[in-house]
Structure 1
Amino acid sequence: MEEKVLIVEGNKDLKQIKKILDEPVDIICTYGTLSEEKLENLIYPIEDLDVYIFVDADSSGEKIRKQLKRELPNATHLYTRKGFRQVETTPLAHLSDILKEYFEVKHTQFF
């Protein structure tokens, strides 16, 4: 497992972020929910790593974020603008600006 772990909501978020990252990062998808089984199998094993949480700026994302704040109190939370609402629909240039604070990103000009 990599030292950095990024938690997102779904596959479309993962695909957008992979276009930008230029370093190996384990990305975990919650698929909108965090059952006790997911917490046990996915979340608890990573609590001692550098964990970043990047979920949508909507009610579903905020619900997951709130739960993850309890389960992973030391995680770093990343936010997209409320106007973009979803990670998957956030423009690549803006995603790059958010992610470059914590990850190596590709130096490609995004349009």
Structure 2
Amino acid sequence: MTESKKVVIVEGKSDKLKIKQLINEPVDIICTNGTISLTRLDELAEDLYEKDVYILVDADESGEKLRKQLKRELPEAFHIYIDKVYKEVASAPNDHLADILLRANIRVHAKFL
């Protein structure tokens, strides 16, 4: 039995740390640090081939810009959106993040639901 390999792409280290504590399955979390070069994207695209890729970025201008770029380069990726009220992944409440991750078919620790 092969386990599905999932990858979540986030903007910053604080987003990565926040998401990591919620997830209850093996998931790679990749930080773009807000921007990503075409070279890095090409490398990523190769690494991400045949993996389930999820994009989770901030609900602000820079997050939307990054999301558009990732949409072009990784058209198969699944996009997860936080409520615009929270603006940033790192400042969104754990229960909100756990809920949207669960809806994206990513297992989370029950205590966050």
Check whether TM > 0.5.
yes
Shift >4 Å, 4+ stretches:
none
Contact 2:82 2:89 (8 Å CA) reproduced = yes
Looking at structure 1, the residues matched to 112 and 38 of structure 2 have their Cα atoms a distance apart, in angstroms, of 41
Instruction: Show the counterpart of 1:14.
Output: 16
TM-score, structure 2 normalization: 0.90
1:95–1:37 distance in 2 versus 1, CA, 3 Å: same
Q: What aligned pairs does 1:54-65 form with structure 2 within 5 A after superposition?
A: 54-65=56-67
TM-score, structure 1 normalization: 0.91
Alignment partner of 1:46 out of 42, 45, 48: 48
Give percent identity, aligned residues only: 50
Structure number having the greater helix percentage: 2
In structure 2, give the amino acid aligned to 1:79: Y
Instruction: Show the counterpart of 1:74.
Output: 76
Q: Which 5+ residue runs of structure 1 have no aligned equivalent? A: none
Aligned length: 109
Q: Which 5+ residue runs of structure 2 have no aligned equivalent? A: none
- Root-mean-square deviation (Å): 1.4
